[in-house]
């Protein structure tokens, strides 16, 4: 196991959490109802917390006492091609249905991932997974309930949910195709074999969709990929431009 692979693996997990947090936080102050404004912000806060733990650990790993890398240099000073998040999390919020479905797909994936990651040979990573799993369990429940509500709500909400499915389905395949660093991390007993999560994920998605009275369109549809290796959609550049603005304009400052 190379140190690089562990480092990249941690960045991948952290970037997933941070980029989705950044997206969800766009809702803060603009949610459809006050209680849900608070709920989506909570999820955003949980995800920022997860990303921070992972970045801090990644920084520790490459610093070896030099202290040059921090959670903030990793989040704010890498460019688009270095970000390793999956394409799903960088997709725009769209309407509430799209945000909900993106959350449901991702949280369900993260749930099975962290469940196994608790047994990671890396004790530090296992501890982060264990702590995060409690939060993610709630995210899955909350987003599942909303998928059901929208699917089984009004004709409009159902149509919007189906639209969201159309928009997002093509970004779900990537979750279960391991990148080089994921494979290496798995072989070294540190990471999870993501291809093995697919069956569980599909089962859970199908259960919730059944209650929502909708179904997965066509499972043979083309799947987009590349995010994990830094080949992103055009959205990520704008997310980073905004997120990193202060650190780029005022380099090297304390905040």
Residues within the interface to another protein (CB under 8 A): 18, 22, 25-26, 28-38, 41-42, 44-45, 48-49, 51-52, 55, 71-72, 75-76, 95-96, 148-150, 152-154, 156-157, 160, 242-243, 245-247, 250, 253-255
The count of other CB atoms within 10 Å of the CB of residue 48 is 18
Closer to another protein at the Cβ: 29 or 67?
Answer: 29
Count of CB atoms within 10 A of residue 37's CB?
Answer: 15
The least distance separating another protein from the CB of residue 33, rounded to whole angstroms, comes to: 6
Paired tokens of 221: 């549809």
- Least distance in Å: CB of 164 to another protein? 13
Burial bucket for residue 218 (CB in 10 Å: 0-12, 13-18, 19+): exposed
Q: Closest CB to another protein among 166 and 242?
A: 242
For residues 153 and 230, which CB has a smaller minimum distance to another protein in the complex?
153
Q: Which is nearer to another protein, 40 or 129 (CB)?
A: 40
CA–CA gap between residue 198 and residue 43 (Å, rounded): 23
Nearest approach, Cβ of residue 233 and another protein (Å): 18
Between CA 38 and CA 44 the distance in angstroms is 10
Give the Cα separation of 8 and 156 in Å (integer).
42
Q: How far is the CB of 89 from another protein (least distance, A)?
A: 15
Burial class (CB in 10 A: 0-12, 13-18, 19+), 30: exposed
Minimum distance between the CB of residue 31 and another protein, rounded to whole angstroms?
7
Shortest distance, position 152 Cβ to another protein, whole Å: 5
Number of helical (H) and strand (E) elements in the chain, helices listed first? 11, 0
Closer CB to another protein, 65 or 252, in the complex: 252
Both structure tokens of 193: 């074999």
What is the rounded CA–CA span in Å between residue 76 and residue 41?
A: 21
Which residue, 222 or 255, is less far from another protein as judged by CB?
255
Distance CA 32, CA 9 (A): 36
- Pick 146 or 186: Cβ nearer another protein: 146
Shortest distance, position 26 Cβ to another protein, whole Å: 7
HSE on the CB side for 26, CA within 13 Å? 17
């Amino acid at each position: 196991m190379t140190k690089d692979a562990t480092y990249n693996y941690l960045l991948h997990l952290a970037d997933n959490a941070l980029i989705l947090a950044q997206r969800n936080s766009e809702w803060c102050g603009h949610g459809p109802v006050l209680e849900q404004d608070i709920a989506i912000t909570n999820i955003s806060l949980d995800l920022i917390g997860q990303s921070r733990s992972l970045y801090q650990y990644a920084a520790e790993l490459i610093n070896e006492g030099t202290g040059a890398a921090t959670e903030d240099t990793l989040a704010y000073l890498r460019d688009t091609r270095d970000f390793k998040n999956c394409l799903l999390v960088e997709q725009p919020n769209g309407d509430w249905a799209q945000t909900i479905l993106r959350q449901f797909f991702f949280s369900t994936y993260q749930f099975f991932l962290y469940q196994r990651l608790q047994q990671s040979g890396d004790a530090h990573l296992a501890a982060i997974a264990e702590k995060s799993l409690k939060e993610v369990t709630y995210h899955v429940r909350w987003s599942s309930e909303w998928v059901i509500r929208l699917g089984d709500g009004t004709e409009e909400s159902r149509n919007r949910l189906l639209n969201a499915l159309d928009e997002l389905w093509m970004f779900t395949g990537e979750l279960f195709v391991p990148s080089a660093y994921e494979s290496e991390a798995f072989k070294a007993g540190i990471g999870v074999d993501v291809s093995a999560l697919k069956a569980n994920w599909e089962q859970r998605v199908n259960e919730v969709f059944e209650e929502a009275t909708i179904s997965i369109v066509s499972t043979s549809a083309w799947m987009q990929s590349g995010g994990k290796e830094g080949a992103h959609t055009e959205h990520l550049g704008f997310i980073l431009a905004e997120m990193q603005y202060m650190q780029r304009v005022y380099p090297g400052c304390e905040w």
